[in-house]
Structure 1
Amino acid sequence: MEDKQEFNDTEVILHQYSLHARYVENFGKVKKVYSDKGIFALKVISPQKGMDFFRNIQFLYQRGYNRIVPIYPATDGRYAVLHGGHLYYLMPWLLNEDTGERDERHMQLFRELARMHTLSMKERPVKKEEREEHYEETIKQWKEQREFIEEFAGESEKKWYMSPFQLLLCMYYTDITQALNYAEKKLEEWFKKTKEDEKVRTVITHGKLSMQHFIYDDRGYGHFINFEDSKTVPPHFDLLPFLVRSARTYPTRCDDCVSWLYNYLKYFPLKDEEMLLFQSYLAYPGSSIQTVRNYFEKKGGKSELYYVSQLQRQYWLLKNTEYMVMKIEEIEQQKKAAAGQEQSQS
């Protein structure tokens, strides 16, 4: 329950929707409003985020995409109300009582994501110099990371008595450098394939894709919520964070993760060059290298045990994503072989 001042503020906002609050529950940035006309969700966001958010939502509505929890306009037609330096917008409160299997829910999320990306897809011009600059900058950063990890491992091996962290890093070193090699190879293939291209595909991305942001209505249809971080960028900006987050666990072979991705690709296929870039970024062992750098710089006064634990977790992430990368590589090679066979027969 809100305190009296908060309740009064909520009443002022709801008045612009011709609603009267009877009871309000606080859930962080969302208020559950029991009103004279039903139950609603009132969400607060910063005005800085609001501009892109409402523009992207409106664009998707216009394209006929309706699997976003609807935003109700105020009585003056605006999609948000400015109050106390914050923007507020109103939605229905969905119960989210779907009891479907975990894999089924993920499959539906990726199918809906593909549909949203399809409806919002646009090609934007990109200068050759811009693409080359991105490639050169990325390669430079990765080279610096490689040199750092090689030097750290080399210095560690010279010691008579390595620290537990140094010993662990030397055990993991080969896997980290193999992931680097693969990521660099795919990035180079991407650049060779696209350096003459003058366009790039962009979509409206969700920006914070997760199962918590995909909820169900009383008819069993899934809807996206929390679009405040939506952007117009290439599709991997949604795919990569979700898959990497799914791999942040104990060592596991996430065949489900690969199935979710290919369910998405069934409805919104990535071009060859987009897949190369996706594979490169997925394979890159950035978080393992960052953990070693944090240990080297010893910021924050953390213990040896803390850093060992962190490196162990990042190594599990590396191996889990490596499994996904290898499965994707295998599937893509099979597709190319099948396409080549078809061509030779025709």
Structure 2
Amino acid sequence: MEWSQIIEAYQLQPEEIEQVTERVFKIKANSQQYALKKSRLYPDDLGRWQAIQQYIQQKQILGFVPIYYAKNNQPFVRDQDQIYYLMPWVEQDYTDQPIDEYASVIHAIGRLHAATMDYHQIAPLKQNKEGMEQQFQQELSSYRDQMLKYVRYFEAKRFMSPYELQICMYYRDIEQIFNQLERWQEIYLDVMEETNEMKYTLCHGNIRPSHYVITQANTYFLNWEDALMTSPTYDLANYYQYLFQFHDCDMGKVTDSFSIYCRYIDLSDYEKSLLVLQLLSPANWFHEVFTSVQSSRNKNNVNCSIKIEQEYRKLLFGLQLQDFIYKTLKSEQFEETY
């Protein structure tokens, strides 16, 4: 299918087409501006994606940019395995008055979750508590063994590559993360006993600057292709981990944003512990380490070091945030222990 056919499916006569990113095109037509997105959706994803779109419209969620229907009455145009959809173009506001991006985005996340909140019984999880405890212990033991194995292997070398030196230097910090992860696993299992239900909301699934637009009136979320119904901690963990990969992440604003979010959604101790378990999970860090070791023959040490550093920052900033979150736990048993 040619471009003309895709655009004609929306009955537009474009005056100008500008490629903004690899997948987003800005179209001027009929005295209006549109955003045409070449999505990452697969044909098998369409049913879920359409259901999410309908749910958002029914709930009249603020910050949602509507999807235009093509002339065949479908909210997308399909070109073989490629899926395209069309939205109004929303322009970012640029004013002399500074905008606190952290606060604007967390307010929008809070409104989204509050507008779609429901509850989900956790009885099946509680029944499997013993199995979860064993799984936690096995995973953590495996992580510790892997870390020690890597450090011993690298230190036995006469010369270490930059990423190998990084891994050895981070050993103490990673061990501290293991210790805190173990502690939060215990907290999670303890508060589970006191919990009967957990919150269940619509999560955007991939909140990052390229997926939202901040205006004076609102913050609009774009690209709902990864949206799903799950614990609200899913969005928080993903958003914070995106911020944490940068060395200049403002932890003061991050902790403020968490307090702002809790005005919209009163997270239980169970949900806070779930959030921390997501933030302190070393799975992605070990994935990058393993990938670096496997691809060491390519000698792309700079790229390996960058990815390992980003995952390390996520864990280190997560360690700082968990300290703040611990102080907000409501159960009396945690008040004098830390």
Tell me the TM-score normalised to structure 2 length. Answer: 0.82
Letter in 2 for 1:172: Y
Q: Does 1:73 align with 2:75?
A: no
Q: Does 1:43 align with 2:25?
A: no
Aligned ranges 1:53-68 → 2 under 5 Å: 53-68=49-64
2:9 maps to: 13
| Structure 1 residue 68 displacement after superposition | 0.4
Q: Does 1:262 align with 2:259?
A: yes
Q: Does 1:24 align with 2:21?
A: no
* Percent of pairs with identical residues: 20
Aligned pair partner of 1:163 in 150, 160, 164: 160
Q: Which has the larger radius of gyration?
A: 1
8 Å Cα contact 1:207-1:230 kept in structure 2: yes
| Structure 1 residue 252 displacement after superposition | 5.8
Distance 1:11 1:137, change over 3 A: same
1:149 maps to: 147
What CA distance in whole angstroms lies between the structure 2 residues aligned with 1:39 and 1:304?
44
| Structure 1 residue 248 displacement after superposition | 1.2
8 Å Cα contact 1:14-1:21 kept in structure 2: no
- 1:1-59 deviation per Cα after TM superposition (whole angstroms, max 9, x unaligned): xxxx73421343123xxx33333233333332222252222223333333222211221
8 Å Cα contact 1:149-1:292 kept in structure 2: no
8 Å Cα contact 1:98-1:216 kept in structure 2: no
8 Å Cα contact 1:124-1:200 kept in structure 2: yes
Q: Which moved more, 1:194-203 or 1:231-240?
A: 194-203
What CA distance in whole angstroms lies between the structure 2 residues aligned with 1:145 and 1:206?
30
8 Å Cα contact 1:106-1:211 kept in structure 2: no
Q: Name the one with the larger helix percent.
A: 1
| Structure 1 residue 75 displacement after superposition | 5.0
Q: Secondary structure at the match of 1:332?
A: coil
Q: Secondary structure at the match of 2:100?
A: helix
What CA distance in whole angstroms lies between the structure 2 residues aligned with 1:288 and 1:86?
32
- 1:249-280 deviation per Cα after TM superposition (whole angstroms, max 9, x unaligned): 22666211111222111111211100011122
| Structure 1 residue 117 displacement after superposition | 0.9
What CA distance in whole angstroms lies between the structure 1 residues aligned with 2:249 and 2:214?
29
Letter in 1 for 2:38: V
1:250 maps to: 247
Letter in 2 for 1:281: Q
Q: Which moved more, 1:187-196 or 1:286-295?
A: 286-295
8 Å Cα contact 1:251-1:316 kept in structure 2: no
2:282 maps to: 285
2:106 maps to: 110
Aligned pair partner of 2:138 in 113, 128, 140: 140
Distance 1:130 1:81, change over 3 A: farther
8 Å Cα contact 1:14-1:20 kept in structure 2: no
What CA distance in whole angstroms lies between the structure 1 residues aligned with 2:293 and 2:101?
42
Distance 1:68 1:253, change over 3 A: closer
Aligned ranges 1:165-180 → 2 under 5 Å: 168-180=166-178
Aligned ranges 1:276-315 → 2 under 5 Å: 276-298=273-295, 301-302=298-299, 307=304, 310-315=307-312
Distance 1:99 1:146, change over 3 A: farther
Distance 1:134 1:80, change over 3 A: farther
What CA distance in whole angstroms lies between the structure 2 residues aligned with 1:123 and 1:21?
46
1:322 maps to: 319
8 Å Cα contact 1:32-1:41 kept in structure 2: yes
In structure 1, stretches of 5+ residues that fail to align are 341-346
What CA distance in whole angstroms lies between the structure 2 residues aligned with 1:80 and 1:303?
40
Aligned pair partner of 2:236 in 230, 234, 239: 239
| Structure 1 residue 182 displacement after superposition | 0.6
1:344 maps to: none
What CA distance in whole angstroms lies between the structure 2 residues aligned with 1:166 and 1:247?
22
Calculate the aligned-residue CA RMSD, in Å: 3.3
What CA distance in whole angstroms lies between the structure 1 residues aligned with 2:246 and 2:136?
27
| Structure 1 residue 65 displacement after superposition | 1.1
Tell me the TM-score normalised to structure 1 length. Answer: 0.80
| Structure 1 residue 104 displacement after superposition | 1.9
| Structure 1 residue 147 displacement after superposition | 1.1
Letter in 2 for 1:108: S
2:90 maps to: 94
